[in-house]
Amino acid sequence: MDYLWIKALHLIAVMSWMAGLLYLPRLFVYHALVEAESLRAQTFKLMERRLLKAIMNPAMVVSWALGLWLLHQNPELLIMPWMWVKIACVVVMTAVHMAFARMRRQLEQDIALSEKVYRWWNEVPTVLMIIIVIMAVVEPF
């Protein structure tokens, strides 16, 4: 497959993953504000589970697979310092994804953190995304 097609598919997968990473903690905020075992809480549980399992997990796997394929096709990128910063941020983003999965499992069992904690977590993917985009587009070093 042509490098540019792989890159386009990688960007589509990353956008799908990011959409979930930005939306899931927002669902957690709203979920934490409703009474446990209520109909609204059950609805949030369903939405969170479907978002994570049907969209975020596959998008993360495809993002990683295509990103690694791109690096395999263009290994010279690995000598660029900006690429290592980008890769480090993607590793942290993956850890955030796993933390969100753990939070979802806790909410499934009606164990909620405060909505303020979820609001803070909601900002983490945004900061990582900003760094990743700057590294990939500006290549500052």
CA 127 to chain centre: 12
Contacts of residue 139, Cβ cutoff 8 Å, sequence gap at least 6: 80, 82
Angstrom distance (rounded) from CA 84 to CA 6: 20
pLDDT at 10: 98
The type of residue at 86 is K
pLDDT at 1: 72
Copy the structure tokens of residue 128: 């990582």
The pLDDT tens digits of the residues spanning 8-54 come to 999 999 999 999 999 999 999 999 999 999 999 999 999 999 999 99
Decide if pLDDT at 124 tops 80. yes
The pLDDT tens digits of the residues spanning 52-87 come to 999 999 999 999 999 999 999 999 999 999 999 999
The pLDDT tens digits of the residues spanning 101-111 come to 999 999 999 99
Reported pTM? 0.94
Angstrom distance (rounded) from CA 26 to CA 33: 11
Domain segments of the chain as ranges: 3-138
Angstrom distance (rounded) from CA 19 to CA 55: 9
- DSSP tag of 76: G
Angstrom distance (rounded) from CA 22 to CA 70: 25
Copy the structure tokens of residue 56: 């975020």
pLDDT at 54: 98
